[in-house]
Chain A
Amino acid sequence: MENFTPLTATIGGVLIGLSATLLWAFNGRTAGVSTIFGAMFPRSPGDVAWRLAFLVGLPLGAGLGAAYGPDLFAELPDALPEVGLGPVALVAAGLLVGVGTRLGNGCTSGHGICGLARLSPRSFVAVGTFFATAVATVFVMRHVL
């Protein structure tokens, strides 16, 4: 477990929980990123502005964290993330994530963080399912192929 980073993982998780709290307290909305992103063409135009604002803030915050995080926490590597997939596989994975999260009404944030925190039975089923197929996929990719 040489890459295990419990301190920054917990701090990062707490920040994500605070982000969800802020959006709930001020806007009364769930911080479900696939829904915020996937419903960019909503049937109610009143929802476009806050969604765009969230989606602009997300990469900005990540850019800040990637730039200054390694100076604050010794366990954080200073390397850029590497995708490690060719364009065809990347597009296929993107399509699967887009279709799956839209059909299942949520992803790791909406079902994973917010739904579990709300003790929603639908979210427990969704989280169990997507973790199971993700673990199976990684197993096939790393240990079978």
Chain B
Amino acid sequence: MRRSVIAIAAAFGSGIIFGLGLAIARMIDPQKVRDFLDFAAIPDGGWDPSLAFVMGGGVLVAFVGLRLNRVLARPIVAPAFQTTAKTRIDSRLVGGAAIFGIGWGLSGFCPAPAIANLGIVPQSVMLFVAAMLAGSWLTGEIAEWARKPMTPKPQAVAG
């Protein structure tokens, strides 16, 4: 089979396993996510620590899995391992994360569970997913526009 076909199949499989994990962990339920974020409910026993176990399980496996580049010269069906070159902790990172957290707390949805719910209760999450795409796209366009140097328009020569 062609490399590119296997690469697409692997990404498809990765998506399926991700969605399966979210559903088994019940992170598809925004109420359950907010029950974790509700720290004020700890004293009266209404707190649900499940999300911490999801993160713990995921980070532990990924801690080993994402170090496979130390034993593999290159990915099985791709030319190179790709990671971000960004190392700077700036206001964009902190501000963006802060804005994301407000939307996450408000709805109980972060991107993966919202998209995953398109396979469970699509009519309930369609608006959220569309707004998320619009927000991300618009931010990307504005960032791209701001990154471009201001080039002065060539002056029309009178005469």
Contacts and interface: CB of A to CB of B under 8 A. Distances in A.
Contacts of A41: 137, 140
A21 B10 CA distance: 11
Contacts of A8: 24-26, 50
Given A81-B28, A95-B103, A137-B102, A14 B61 contact: yes
A25 B67 CA distance: 9
A5 B50 contact: yes
Given A4-B49, A100-B96, A100-B100, A37 B136 contact: yes
Dominant SS among interface residues on chain B: helix
Contacts, number: 512
Contact of B58 (A13, A40, A95, A141): A13
A93 B133 contact: no
Given A16-B18, A89-B107, A138-B38, A3 B32 contact: yes
Contact of B117 (A23, A28, A62, A122): A62
A contact residues, range: 35 or more
A6 to B, nearest CB: 5
B4 A49 contact: yes
Contacts of B18: 15-16, 19-20, 31, 33, 54, 57-58, 61, 109
Contact of B116 (A58, A87, A117, A134): A58
A58 B66 contact: no
A74 interface: no
B12 A9 contact: no
B145 interface: no
A1 B86 CA distance: 40
B22 A62 contact: yes
Contacts of A19: 14-15, 17-18, 21
Contact of B19 (A18, A39, A64): A64
Given A60-B15, A97-B132, A102-B136, 19 more contacts: A1-B46, A4-B48, A5-B26, A6-B49, A9-B53, A11-B25, A12-B54, A21-B61, A24-B65, A24-B75, A24-B81, A57-B14, A61-B17, A81-B124, A91-B127, A98-B133, A111-B97, A114-B62, A118-B66
16 contacts: A6-B49, A9-B50, A13-B25, A13-B56, A15-B18, A20-B61, A26-B10, A26-B14, A58-B115, A61-B19, A61-B21, A64-B19, A73-B24, A93-B128, A109-B110, A142-B41
